Amino acid sequence: MNVLVIGNGGREHAIVQALKKSPKVDKIFAMKGNAGIGELAELVNVNYCDVKAVGDWVDAHKEIDYTVIAPDDPLALGLADELESRGHRVFGPRKNAAIIEASKAFSKELMKKYNIPTAKYETFSDYEEAKAYVETCDIPVVLKADGLALGKGVLICKTREEALDGIKEMMLDKKFGSAGNKVVVEEFLEGPEVSALAFTDGKSMKPMITSCDHKRAFDNDEGLNTGGMGTFSPAPFYGEKTEKEVMEKIMIPTMNAMNAEGRTFKGVLYFGLMKTKDGMKVIEYNSRFGDPETQVLLPMLKTDLMEIFEAITDERLADIDIEWESGACVCVVLASGGYPVAYEKGKEITFGDLDKDVILCHAGTKMKDGKLVTDGGRVLGVCAKGATIEEARKKAYANVEKISFEGMHYRKDIGIKYRDVERE
């Protein structure tokens, strides 16, 4: 079959690499893709947030049998609904289910209604009311813009002054645009974080192996929030007891809650979780694969990804076994100088002799005059497997050192955190 993959980052390159291994997949198309994806797929230059234009393109290209929607924005805009209504097969939740990521106010309300453990919160649409609340609430406090803000609409405020400034920036100055029309003011939680992703068809839930992201730009979790500067898998503290707790108290209740609301979720549900002193709690939901989590998850997947996608579309996920390699995988993101704020594009990328088994996931790259150049903030994910996280980490960094472009920066501490957290 011929598959169209929507998206253009490292996550999509990892998805395309996994699909390429499937005996079921003949040809892959990618909208819009990047230079790495372009080596495996035919690139299609259509704006994937224009859902009608994507629908028209798929209608016109009868050879496409299946479409995988990877990023959050086209899902929130209803691309799955648009393609389904035109009779096409898709992977990705409908708009009414993608809201679990697209609106923090919705997801907080859902968790409250169905007793899913999360931080306590209040939601405000009125600046004066939010201000009055923040003047007396416990500090630190967390402010979240309601809508999608590329992972950047969250402010952790250590002082009351910061919190009052934050409310003003979001609600009056519209720093995150309309995402800040509504703001969630949330209790500050502490503990190690894990990205627990699961495949679901609304009837069953099959967790993937776990991973840990590094959202801040610099070592020791300093600097601004980014889309993610690196990941490792598995989370060292996530043992059988935790897995059972998450399944029983968080994953299954979320699937059931979405069904009860008439918003059946089919796709990948991403649970951003924190291990607090009161147990595992949900920090956020995403309606899709994570980036760069996917870069360390899919290389470890032994089962045919296309088979899983189709099983979800056809609601027979319960019938298939999903197998993972044991061992570990680490992904170090190479970013453009200045990312996540202002950065230049078009810098030539050069490579030394990389190890054969290192996996490169292209994010912001393109070909220009026969040369590979940077084309975004996050440029490449350098991924390596090993028997342990330490082994994978050493291999990833040994290869990172063989890659360069002007201004390149990366974190040197991916794969170190949580080593000392007790595994339960």
Residue 156 lies near ligand AMP (rule: CB under 6 A): yes
Contact 22, 306 (CB under 8 A): yes
Identify what 291 binds: ligand GLY, ligand AMP, none; CB under 5 to 8 Å per kind.
ligand GLY
Tokens of 59: 């209608």
Site for ligand GLY in 148-177 (CB under 6 A): 151
Site for ligand AMP in 169-198 (CB under 6 A): 186-189, 193
Q: How far is CA 160 from CA 132, 134, 146, 190, 225, in A?
A: 12, 7, 21, 18, 20
Cβ proximity to ligand GLY: between 12 and 291 the closer is 291
Identify what 171 binds: ligand GLY, ligand AMP, none; CB under 5 to 8 Å per kind.
none
d(CA 314, CA 249): 26
Q: Is the peptide bond before 32 cis (omega within 30 degrees of 0)?
A: yes
Cβ proximity to ligand AMP: between 157 and 311 the closer is 157
Tokens of 312: 């979800």
Cβ proximity to ligand AMP: between 227 and 299 the closer is 227
* 274 to 313: interface string for ligand AMP, x by CB under 6 A: ---------xx-----------------------------
Site for ligand GLY in 278-297 (CB under 6 A): 286, 290-291, 293
Q: How far is CA 371 from CA 347, 360, 417, in A?
A: 10, 17, 36
Q: Closest separation between CB of residue 142 and ligand GLY, Å?
A: 16
Cβ proximity to ligand GLY: between 134 and 329 the closer is 329
Contacts of 70 (CB under 8 A, 6+ apart): 5, 6, 7, 9, 11, 12, 15, 92, 288, 289
d(CA 231, CA 299): 13
Q: What angle do CA 44, 228, 408 make, to 5 degrees?
A: 80
Identify what 395 binds: ligand GLY, ligand AMP, none; CB under 5 to 8 Å per kind.
none
Residue 363 lies near ligand AMP (rule: CB under 6 A): no
How far, rounded to the nearest angstrom, does the alpha carbon of residue 399 sit from its chain's CA centroid?
24
Residue 228 lies near ligand GLY (rule: CB under 6 A): yes
Residue 127 lies near ligand AMP (rule: CB under 6 A): no
Q: What angle do CA 202, 208, 209 make, to 5 degrees?
A: 160
d(CA 270, CA 369): 39
d(CA 187, CA 190): 10
Q: Closest separation between CB of residue 290 and ligand GLY, Å?
A: 3
Site for ligand AMP in 211-250 (CB under 6 A): 215
**CA end-to-end distance (rounded Å), the chain:** 43
Site for ligand GLY in 96-115 (CB under 6 A): none
Residue 230 lies near ligand GLY (rule: CB under 6 A): no
Site for ligand GLY in 123-152 (CB under 6 A): 151
d(CA 347, CA 351): 13
Q: Closest separation between CB of residue 28 and ligand AMP, Å?
A: 30
Contacts of 377 (CB under 8 A, 6+ apart): 226, 227, 335, 336, 339, 340, 343, 364
Q: Closest separation between CB of residue 208 and ligand AMP, Å?
A: 18
Q: Closest separation between CB of residue 346 and ligand GLY, Å?
A: 26
Q: How far is CA 395 from CA 35, 75, 174, 228, 311, in A?
A: 24, 35, 43, 20, 35
Binding-site size for ligand GLY (CB under 6 A) equals 7
Identify what 156 binds: ligand GLY, ligand AMP, none; CB under 5 to 8 Å per kind.
ligand AMP
Q: Which residues bind ligand AMP (CB under 6 A)?
A: 119, 142, 144, 151, 154, 156, 186-189, 193, 215, 272, 283-284
Q: Which residues bind ligand GLY (CB under 6 A)?
A: 151, 213, 228, 286, 290-291, 293
